[in-house]
Amino acid sequence: MMDKLAPETVFRAAKSKERRIGVGSLVGSEHVRTSMDLANASGYGRSEIYHDAEEMVQHLKEGRIDAAVRGDLDSKQAMLAVKRVFGLERLERMAMVQPRGGSIFLLAPVGVDEGATIEEKVDMVRRGVALLRRMGAAPSIGIMAGGRASDIGRCPVVDRTIHEAEAIVTILKGQGLEAENVHILIEEAAQTKNLIIAPDGISGNLIFRCIHLVDGGRSMGAPILNLDKVFIDTSRAKTSYVDSIALASALAGGGFSSKGHPGGHPGNIKR
């Protein structure tokens, strides 16, 4: 297995004219329309536009589409629709980001209301590991904290994040996973890890926004991992959704390569 991921891995697995992909769009959104046309022309499934989040999610549940991409629909409305239609109390999203000049890594939590407990973060790691293995990548896990080990004693909030990171690493190692407390060193973790867990959803969202919106790195979207269907959350700030549509098609296909582990969406991993 490889440990570094490239967008080409997704684009190869996305090739299929049979997969039906729903893409959310504000009325008159040229970015979504152009992206859908390019994705269809590239063979990344057969996309169709939805202006209503509830309708798109309902069609996803009924199997009328094989995967859905939020596009530029309102985040709150889209996430509420997913929770309502599928009966979920919370969502676990994991963003696929690629810093400029670097490799793709999975980042969570990225929702400001996600990953609030050690248990939730551990569950995100397990689901992220399942996704990485399906993509043919050997998991390399970094658990972040709010400071270095030498910062203990300076701030109670930072102390808590360091101790939580150590607890998560211990749990993961007990489950047979190789994980490391990378502390606050995101600049090093981004070069050596392909699955990074931020201290909380706020810091994870800030990391995502700095990589994608400030520095121009790639964001392929954030699959909802605790869902038995494929739904890719996206940022309204994206100017192209082609890579997100490709990711939806690849996940809906059930496997990325002969080195991967096909057979269902990573949200189906057994607890």
> pTM for the full model?
0.88
Residue 198 has pLDDT above 50, yes or no: yes
- The torsion of the CA quartet 13, 16, 18, 21, rounded to 10 degrees, works out to 60
pLDDT digits (tens, 9 = 90+) for 218-228: 999 999 999 99
Amino acid at the residue 178: E
- The torsion of the CA quartet 56, 240, 113, 249, rounded to 10 degrees, works out to 50
Which one of 3.40.718.10, 3.10.450.100, 3.40.50.300, 3.30.428.10 gives the CATH number of domain 7-268? 3.40.718.10
Question: What confidence score (pLDDT) does residue 111 get?
Answer: 86
pLDDT digits (tens, 9 = 90+) for 43-84: 999 999 999 999 999 999 999 999 999 999 999 999 999 999
Amino acid at the residue 214: V
Question: What confidence score (pLDDT) does residue 259 get?
Answer: 43
Q: Does the bond joining 109 to the residue before it have cis omega, within 30 degrees of 0?
A: yes
Sign of the dihedral through C-alpha 242, 70, 129, 193: positive
Question: What confidence score (pLDDT) does residue 123 get?
Answer: 95
Question: What confidence score (pLDDT) does residue 268 get?
Answer: 34
- Residue 242 tokens read as 């082609």
For 136, list phi and psi in degrees, rounded to 5: 80, 20
172 close to 209: Cβ distance less than 8 angstroms: no
